[in-house]
């Protein structure tokens, strides 16, 4: 097989079909098919152990699927994985750099592993890009979670990859650091870098260009956030009341009521049968003196509904 990359297919950085993977006889990913354009941020969501990391690794050739085909960055994921790896930056969930080296020493060491022509200059550029210059002589082991996150991102961009793989990169990081991290992700995407990221945070998912929800190794939904929400056909209402527990009890089991979520003195009530849901909410609101108003469904509402439906189908 030639080392020459194939021509990009319709501007797609990744185009795979039917990827399946099992470990010790247990199927972890089943029939995953996905297309990701160059410069897109694709977010993978789903419960722990549902195949997100395994899927990401197969998409870019880091893990060979049992079946399925596809290309990543123009290279065949089955036969040219080594070429894909050279253009990929991987940031694992767990901090993997050396605690007893400084920030600068870590970056210079990684730059040498990448065989960069000038390791010092490469590290210096990354320090500047990620705002690490004033901490460059601090030991990595002394950093907070947010600064370790920045260092990890700096390390995986040293070789100027075309693809970034970020495995739950902001787990345990404060909101300010998370926001700054996502600003960096969008800056890379604006320069044409493709990003695959797994996350549990709905606000982060909404910052992705495309999202996919995995459950038990199956890609249940896929698309832009607004498309995913629209395809759910979910209707959501906000109920404001001084006694949310009483209203919640009154709504439980009513026709059309599929989900009830408490938010302080408010309840969010959702379902897919708009007529039955509206009638039930109107009845309870009038009887108990609550105020009800329709609201757009959130991404969290959609995923909880999707997961509940999937579990019900599996039980049947």
Backbone angles phi, psi at 199, to 5 degrees: -155, 155
The pLDDT of residue 66: 94
Per-chain mean pLDDT for the chain? 90
Residue 232, Cβ density class (10 Å: 0-12 exposed, 13-18 middle, ≥19 buried): buried
- Give the C-alpha separation, 111 to 89, whole Å: 12
Give residue 1's pLDDT band: very low, low, confident or very high (50, 70, 90).
very low
| Token pair 């089991």 in the structure block, residue | 253
- Measured distance CA(285)–CA(265) in Å, rounded: 14
Tokens at 117, concatenated: 């022509």
Q: What pLDDT is recorded for position 316?
A: 62
> pLDDT at residue 312 above 80?
no
Tens digit of each residue's pLDDT (9 = 90 or more) over 38-52: 999 999 998 888 888
pLDDT at residue 314, as a whole number: 66
Looking at domain 12-226, its CATH superfamily turns out to be P-loop containing nucleotide triphosphate hydrolases (3.40.50.300)
pLDDT tens, 66-112?
999 999 999 999 999 999 999 999 988 777 889 999 999 999 999 99
The model's pTM is 0.87
Nearest Cα to 306, choosing from 216, 208, 224?
Answer: 216
Mean pLDDT over 273-302 rounds to 94
Write down the domain spans for the chain.
12-226, 235-296
Does CATH place domain 235-296 in 3.30.70.100? yes
Asked if the model's pLDDT at residue 2 lies above 50, the reply is no
Tens digits of residue pLDDT in 136-177:
999 999 998 888 888 999 999 999 999 999 988 887 778 888
CB-side neighbour CA atoms (13 Å) of 118: 6
Burial annotation 268-294 (CB, 10 A radius, 16+ → b, else e): bbbbeeeebbbebbeebbeebebebee
**Predicted confidence band at 7 (pLDDT cuts at 50, 70, 90)?**
very low
Q: Is the pLDDT at 3 greater than 50, yes or no?
A: no
Residue 19 scores a pLDDT above 90: yes
């Amino acid at each position: 097989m030639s080392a020459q990359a194939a021509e990009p297919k319709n501007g797609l950085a990744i185009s795979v079909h039917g990827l399946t993977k099992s470990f010790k006889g247990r199927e972890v990913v089943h029939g995953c098919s996905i297309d990701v354009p160059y410069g897109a941020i694709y977010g993978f969501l789903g419960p722990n152990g549902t195949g997100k990391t395994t899927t990401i690794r197969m998409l870019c050739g880091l893990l060979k699927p049992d079946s399925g085909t596809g290309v990543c960055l123009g290279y065949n994921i089955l036969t040219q994985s080594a070429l894909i790896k050279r253009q990929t930056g991987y940031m694992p969930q767990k901090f993997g750099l050396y605690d007893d080296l400084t920030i600068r020493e870590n970056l210079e060491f990684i730059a040498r592993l990448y065989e960069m022509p000038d390791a010092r200059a490469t590290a210096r550029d990354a320090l500047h890009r990620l705002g690490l210059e004033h901490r460059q002589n601090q030991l990595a082991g002394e950093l907070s979670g947010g600064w370790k996150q920045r260092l990890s991102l700096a390390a995986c961009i040293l070789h100027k990859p075309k693809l970034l793989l970020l495995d739950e990169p902001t787990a345990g990081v404060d909101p300010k650091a998370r926001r700054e991290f996502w600003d960096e992700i969008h800056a890379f995407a604006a320069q044409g870098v493709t990003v695959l990221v797994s996350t549990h945070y709905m606000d982060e998912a909404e910052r992705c260009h495309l999202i996919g929800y995995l459950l038990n190794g199956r890609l249940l939904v896929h698309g832009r956030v607004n498309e995913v929400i629209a395809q759910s056909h979910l209707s959501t209402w906000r109920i404001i009341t001084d006694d949310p527990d009483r209203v919640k009890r009154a709504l439980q089991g009513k026709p059309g009521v599929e989900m009830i979520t408490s938010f302080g003195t408010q309840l969010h009530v959702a379902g897919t049968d708009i007529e039955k849901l509206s009638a039930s909410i109107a009845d309870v609101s009038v009887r108990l003196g609550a105020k009800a108003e329709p609201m757009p469904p959130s991404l969290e509402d959609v995923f909880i509904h999707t997961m509940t439906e999937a579990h019900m189908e599996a039980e049947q």
